[in-house]
Each structure stands twice: as C-alpha cells, then as structure tokens.
Amino acid sequence: MTRIDDLFSRTKDRAALIGYLPVGFPDVATSIEAMVAMVEGGVDLVEVGVPYTDPGMDGPVIQVAVDAALRAGTRIAHVFDAVAEVSRHAPVVVMGYWNPVEKMTPKVFAQRLKQAGGSGAITPDLIPEEAGPWLEAAKEQDLDPVFLVAPSSTDERLEVVGRTNRGFVYAASTMGVTGTRDTVSNRAEELVGRMRGHTGLPIGVGLGVSNGEQAAEVAAYADAVIVGSAFVRALQDEGVDAVRRLAQDLANGVRRRA
C-alpha cells in the first residue's frame, strides 16, 4: 500500500483535500514553507508543481507564478528538494508537464522522485497510450501515475484511465485552464458518476474550487477536492499565513460534508 492508498483509507468518511503550489514562487524557500503551511492548515496531500515554460493547462494566476519561478532560476533539482521536505509532513505528488521528465528520462526521474520521498506524479499532457516508459519506471519505483479525465472524455478514455491510474483519478471539472471560479461546473458531478463506472480508485475533482463552501459542495460527491490557483493567489497577495488560513477554510469545508 502506497502513502496515497493509506491516505484514502484513512479519509473514507470524508473527502481528502489536495493542494497545489509551484516550486520557486516567490522563491524556493518560501514556496516550500507555504506547502508545509498548507498541511498545517489541513491539506492531506500536496501537489508540488514543476515550473515549465509552456503550462498549457494552467490559467493566468499559475502562469505568472511559474514564469516568476523560472526567471528566478528554479530548476528541476529544486523540485526534488521541495518533495524531500514536504513529504516529511504529508504524501506528495509532483504535478508537471512531460517534457522535463522526458529530458531527464522517466527512469531517472522516477528514481529521484522516489529517493526524495515522493508518492507519484500527475502528468496533464501525457496520455496512458503514450506513457509506456513512464509507467514502467513508476512501477519499478512503486510510484502512482495519475492521468486526467475531463467532461469531454469518452467512455473508452475513462476505461483506459481507470485501469491505468494508481492512487487516484484526477477529474477536471470543466473544459479550459485552471483558475478560481464563482461556481464549480455542474458537469463535474456527472463526470465523477461516469468515472465510477470504470474504476474503484478514489476520484478527485479540480479546477475552480476557491473557498470552503465550494469545497463542501464538491466533497458531497468526490473523494478528493483539488485546489491550486486559489493557493497561488493567496501566496501572491498575502503570503504564507494566507495560505494556511485558506487551507483551514477548505479543510473545514470538506469536513462539513463528512
């Protein structure tokens, strides 16, 4: 059983809370401090973001943050440093695009991620059919590969992801890029229902959640609530303490729906 499996076994009576922040924003040390603050506020699993020059899934808030991180000199080595520190406090997955992994080679990336204490990786621009080397490397290191589904995903796509993923399934609540929204797409609940017909894995919903009320809404039908842009904006506008307060609000939301 991986740390992610253990987490979901311990949160069967409520949804888990997953929080994302990119490494290096506003600097490496502060980004790590903010990730730990998320855990202190109630986040159950941390997505450590890999800064990348072409973050196709990410909205403007995260794009600005990762651009600043790259300009400040953040590199892949800093990502493993963050994983090593944050994994002392909670399970960690890396959230990143495929090019940096391919450049390092999946085998080396998986080895370094495991050595740092990571539990898996979310690869938003990689599909299972093209992920052979990564799946093999992840299996060798007992890491959980996490692929995404969206409202537009066919039943065939849901079936492939359902049998390939380990840990959990990432369900994007809407078509489009990340970002906080006034409401979470009503297609998210439909997608979760469809996905449950193809997997026994926990299903997490991301894209759009920004406060405790929305977290409670998603927690009513999903196994995990995934929050990214709201944490980045909190760190950008008010600093680490705001990240901790937001985590507390979101954690209270998911627990209200227990």
What is the CA angle 40-230-59, rounded to 5?
140
| Stretches in the chain below the pLDDT threshold 50 | 175-181
Question: Does residue 211 contact residue 183 with C-beta atoms inside 8 Å?
Answer: no
pLDDT (0 to 100) of residue 230: 95
pTM equals 0.93
pLDDT (0 to 100) of residue 174: 63
Question: Does residue 4 contact residue 94 with C-beta atoms inside 8 Å?
Answer: no
Picking from 173, 187, 242, the residue whose alpha carbon sits closest to that of residue 211 is 242
**Helix pair 28-41, 76-86: axis angle to 10 deg:** 30
pLDDT (0 to 100) of residue 131: 97
Q: In this structure, which amino acid lies at residue 92? A: V
223 carries an active-site annotation = no
**CA 142, CA 62: separation in Å to the nearest integer?**
29
58 carries an active-site annotation = yes
List the strands of the sheet with 224-227, edge to edge. Answer: 144-146, 120-122, 92-95, 45-49, 16-22, 224-227, 203-206, 169-172, 148-149
What class has domain 15-146+209-256?
alpha beta
Question: Does residue 229 contact residue 61 with C-beta atoms inside 8 Å?
Answer: yes
Partners of residue 152 on adjacent β-strands: none
Give the list of residues 6+ apart from residue 243 with CB closer than 8 angstroms, or none.
Answer: 21, 34, 37, 38, 41, 231, 234, 235
Tell me: the pLDDT tens digits for 144-194?
Answer: 999 999 999 999 999 999 999 999 999 998 644 444 445 555 789 999 999
Choosing from 44, 47, 144, 189, the catalytic residue is 47
Partners of residue 225 on adjacent β-strands: 17, 205
Q: What is the DSSP string of 156-193?
A: HHHHHHHHH--S-EEEESSSS-----SS--THHHHHHH
Choosing from 5, 44, 58, 81, the catalytic residue is 58
Quote the tokens at residue 115: 């050595």
pLDDT (0 to 100) of residue 178: 45
Annotated domain spans of the chain: 15-146+209-256
Give the list of residues 6+ apart from residue 189 with CB closer than 8 angstroms, or none.
Answer: 221
Tell me: the pLDDT tens digits for 125-148?
Answer: 999 999 999 999 999 999 999 999
37 burial level (CB within 10 Å; 0-12, 13-18, 19+):
buried
pLDDT (0 to 100) of residue 180: 45
pLDDT (0 to 100) of residue 176: 47
